[in-house]
Amino acid sequence: MPLKIKIIGAGISGLACAYHLKKYRAKAETSLYEAEDKIGGLCGSYQEKGFTFDYSGHLLHLSTRSGKALARKLLGRNQTQIKREAFVFFKGKKVEFPFQNNLFRLDKKDISYCVSEAIKAYGAQSDKKDSFKNWALALYGKGICEYFMFPYNSKLWNFPLEKLTPQWCGKFIPAYTLEDIIKGAYLKRNKKTGYNSTFYYPKSGGCGAICSALAQGLDNINLNSAVTAIDFKNKTFKAGGKTVSYDKLVSTMPLPALGKALKGLPADIKTAFKELKHNSLYVLNIAFKGKAPKGHWFYFPEDKYPFYRVGVQSSFSKSSAPKGTFSLYIEFALRQNCKADLNKLKQKAISALKDLGFIDEKSEIVTEKWHHIRYGYPIYDGRYAKARGLILDYLAKQDIYLLGRYGAWEYSFMEKSLLDAAALAKTIAKVSK
Ligand SMILES: Cc1cc2nc3c(=O)[nH]c(=O)nc-3n(C[C@H](O)[C@H](O)[C@H](O)COP(=O)(O)OP(=O)(O)OC[C@H]3O[C@@H](n4cnc5c(N)ncnc54)[C@H](O)[C@@H]3O)c2cc1C
């Protein structure tokens, strides 16, 4: 008898898991349960008045051979590779990203400050890297931290930087040597580095094209079927008004929400679930008539801008906006579960866009939509690793596997979802031998 594998969530992770499990069809019978009336989750896309929007720009950052091969298999000719044009707005200047490698754009005084502090930090060779704050200070010195690392990350995480660990930084914050910093300050070396120096994007259909390709041939996706009341002792859950039984359960739903759905957890695991923290995001997808600002996306460390990042959705593919228009995604971060006054936020954003010269008084809005991302970034504080570890170990023993940025509760991205899903499918198939 094939194993009954049930997957919670039809975002990129759940779909990729079902896609890879197709190979083991004889051993595993797979169904997906999705709360929404559509697939894709955060990696979906939607069409509105001739525009294609993602739920905030979603770019494929592919750094492995298997990730690239899978994207090619899924998208075929429907993908392009694009060289990043990203900038940090600082003191009215447009500084190439990464900030720490492009100090040449700053005023002389600011360059000297950043470089001399970076040299001091290098000289101090501090091994105090317990918090993000100390890690960044040890690596870059006070100048780069004061100007970019601290204000930008405070805005993004909405969490005290001295309580954040640097565990998430590896891939996401390019680590530069002192030599790189100095060359970037005095030799105008704008070497495009980091995990997103080039990226891939579908020519049409937005990021959602990847999810659509994964879903092809999957005939067991149950939409409008939020999973609740998981009885892991009897291996059943409720979804779409039915009781469903399983042998193995794969969850891609946000881990804190899974904790609430699991019935009969022991006290220490319940406590561990309560330790999980996150920030919340709002994204304003908005399109204007006129000419787009030059660049793919921009970072805003300064308080005078209400957003932390703005991306030009229409710069990723020609098909995503009608001629003579452009589209933006504007990202705002808040503390965990905080709600925002969206009218106020929009007014502030429009005024900031004018200040930046992205739009002017005459710019006409063609379409706009807000999206709330309740679980934005899982927060890596001092309790994160232990709590997450306890939960993962306990649930694995109950035949519950966790997958994806929110399922496995980690700062991750689409390529990792695709690859982790392949590895998990293999593990499940092995178990069912
Ligand atoms: C602002 C922002 C920008 C990002 N940009 C990028 C980028 O450029 N490149 C990149 O690679 N990554 C990016 N990411 C990360 C990327 O969004 C995630 O890695 C990816 O969405 C993870 O997919 P997932 O399927 O695991 O989760 P999700 O997309 O959240 O999918 C989970 C699915 O589960 C469903 N669900 C939830 N609860 C239940 C329930 N109880 N029952 C049934 N179904 C349920 C949801 O409706 C959803 O469809 C970004 C993330 C954010 C927040």
Pocket probe mutation, ligand 1, options 31, 38, 58, 411, max atoms within 8 Å of Cβ: 58
| Best residue for ligand 1 mutational test, from 43, 230, 334 (most atoms within 8 Å of Cβ) | 43
373 lines ligand 1 (CB under 6 A): yes
- Domain 3-43+206-273+382-431 is of which CATH architecture? 3-Layer(bba) Sandwich (3.50)
Confidence of residue 433 (pLDDT cuts 50, 70, 90): low
Spacing, Cα 164 to ligand 1 middle (Å): 22
Query: Could you tell me if 329 and 54 are in contact, meaning their C-beta atoms sit under 8 angstroms apart?
Result: yes
Dist. CA 254 → ligand 1 center (Å): 9
Cis check for the bond before 378: say yes or no (omega within 30 of 0).
no
Q: Is the CB of 252 under 6 A from ligand 1?
A: yes
pLDDT at residue 27, as a whole number:
79
Output the CA 252–ligand 1 centroid distance in Å: 8
Cβ neighbourhood burial of 241 (10 Å; 0-12, 13-18, 19+): exposed
Task: Check if 36 has its Cβ closer than 6 Å to any atom of ligand 1.
Answer: yes
Cβ–ligand 1 contact at 253 (below 6 Å)? yes
Closest CA to 287 of 308, 312, 256: 312
Q: CA angle at residue 256 from 398 to 14, to 5 degrees?
A: 65
Classify domain 280-373 at the CATH class level. alpha beta
Would you list the domain boundaries of the chain? 3-43+206-273+382-431, 86-186, 280-373
Burial profile 85-124: b = 16 or more Cβ within 10 angstroms, e = fewer: ebbbbbeeeebbbbbbbbbbbbeeebbebbbebbeebbee
CB distance 16 to ligand 1 below 6 Å:
no
For 359, half-sphere exposure in the C-beta direction (CA atoms, 13 angstrom radius) is: 22
Q: Are 324 and 289 in contact (CB under 8 A)?
A: yes
pLDDT digits (tens, 9 = 90+) for 188-215: 766 666 667 899 999 999 999 999 999 9
The answer for residues whose C-beta is within 8 angstroms of residue 186's C-beta and 6 or more apart is: 104, 111
Q: Residue for token digits 């000289």?
A: 123
Give dist(CA 174, CA 181) in Å, integer. Answer: 12
Pocket test for ligand 1, best of 19, 328, 405, 416 (most atoms within 8 A of CB): 405
Alpha-carbon separation of residue 299 from 99, 155, 205, 373, 376 (angstroms): 10, 11, 26, 19, 17
**pLDDT tens by residue, 235-283:** 999 999 999 999 999 999 999 999 999 999 999 999 999 999 999 999 9
**Which is more confident, 157 or 176?**
157
CB 298 within 8 A of CB 265: no
248, 401 in Cβ contact below 8 A? yes
Read off the pLDDT of each residue in 308-332 and give the average, rounded to a whole number.
97
pLDDT at 174 over 80: no
Choice among 132-136, 184-188, 360-364 with the minimum mean pLDDT? 184-188
